[in-house]
Amino acid sequence: MTLSTAARPDRRRAGRTAAGEANRLLPRPLLAVLTVGLCALVLVPISYILLASLNTDVGVASGEFWPSTFSGTSYTKIWTTADLSTGILNSVIVCGLVAVASALLGTTTAYVLVRYTFFGRLTILRGLVGLQSIPGTLMLLPVFVLFSSAGNYLGLTVIGTRWGLFVAYLTFALPFSTWVMVTYLRGLPRELEEAARTDGASTLVILFRIVFPLSLPAIVVSGIFAFLLGWNDVLFASVLTRPETQTAAVALQVFGSSQEGGALPVYSQMMAAALICAVPVVLLYLGFQRYLVGGLTAGGVK
């Protein structure tokens, strides 16, 4: 009880110190204007998309910002005009598996790279950084040829399947997740692991009972970024999938391109579809906000 009451003034003092630092860098009126401007830069487009989704297609096409009549018909029509249900289901399955697999594999790989010394360790670490500089567009043709060859020589159907898209996303997400975990695990004290080894714990026990719980913020960060890598991708998903396995991003692209040149563009339904596809990402951030903030700020205080 004494420790908790003593920690509260320190936290309040730290908060006041941070606020004082911000006020010293910028005058209070300028700080208020900058804050309002940044909030408006984010909220105005989102407000327009929300209002347009509640408007009619005719109202949005005529340039109305505030709907003359509010209507939620776009949210019901979108499930028949665009195949969103299949796309969202495929995206959740593939991206969720990629997030879990990249977080687990990235943590175990980073633990080996940080805690053990072996030949080629620095080369692997430098290679993880170098892989981030390769554009995905340059890898599209090699990945397609590789998957096509695997289907011919091994008798496996890779292109057009969910697991083929999973392998492609995991290939690009794993280096980033591993590097995030490397930077985080470098700050974890070795004394905890040494104490566990003294008590007779094996490497797997240390990894799953000590390293994983302590690294949960960084694991969440790497998993969320891996999830977003697949959720926002259109390039690989449009080439490596078919209509039954297409993702939400591809469904939105197909729906938008199919409406071009029509007599009346269905702008309201497009806005509604965009908001529906953004809901899982928003829920993901809200659900893991505490771990996300801790994982992003951990490297700055260690």
For residue 95, the domain's CATH number is 1.10.3720.10
Say how far apart CA 184 and CA 217 lie, in whole Å: 9
Instruction: Say how many C-beta atoms besides its own lie within 10 A of residue 66's C-beta.
Output: 9
The confidence score (pLDDT) of residue 95 equals 93
Q: Are residues 154 and 296 in the same domain?
A: yes
Tally of structural domains, the chain: 2
Q: What are phi and psi of 133, to 5 degrees?
A: -90, -5
Q: How many CA atoms lie within 13 A of 234 on its CB side?
A: 6
Using the 3D structure, point to which of 77, 104, 131 is the last residue of a domain.
77
Tens digit of each residue's pLDDT, the chain (302 residues) = 444 444 444 545 544 555 555 456 677 888 888 889 999 998 998 888 898 888 887 777 777 788 887 888 888 888 887 778 888 999 999 999 999 999 999 999 999 988 888 888 888 888 887 877 788 788 888 888 888 887 777 777 888 889 889 999 998 899 889 988 888 888 888 888 888 888 888 888 888 888 888 888 889 888 998 999 999 898 899 888 888 888 998 988 888 777 665 556 788 888 888 889 888 888 888 888 777 766 555 544 44
The confidence score (pLDDT) of residue 261 equals 58
Q: Are residues 155 and 269 in the same domain?
A: yes
Residues ≥6 apart with Cβ < 8 Å to 292: 217, 220, 221, 224, 285
Q: Are residues 63 and 92 in the same domain?
A: no
Q: Are residues 105 and 70 in the same domain?
A: no
The confidence score (pLDDT) of residue 5 equals 47
Structural domain for 208, as ranges: 82-301
Q: Are residues 36 and 166 in the same domain?
A: no
The confidence score (pLDDT) of residue 1 equals 42
Using the 3D structure, point to which of 49, 77, 105 is the last residue of a domain.
77
Rounded to two decimals, what is the model's pTM?
A: 0.79
Torsion of CA 262, 266, 271, 272, to 10 degrees: -130
Q: Are residues 265 and 122 in the same domain?
A: yes
- 155 backbone φψ class: left, alpha, beta (φ>0; ψ -120 to 50): left
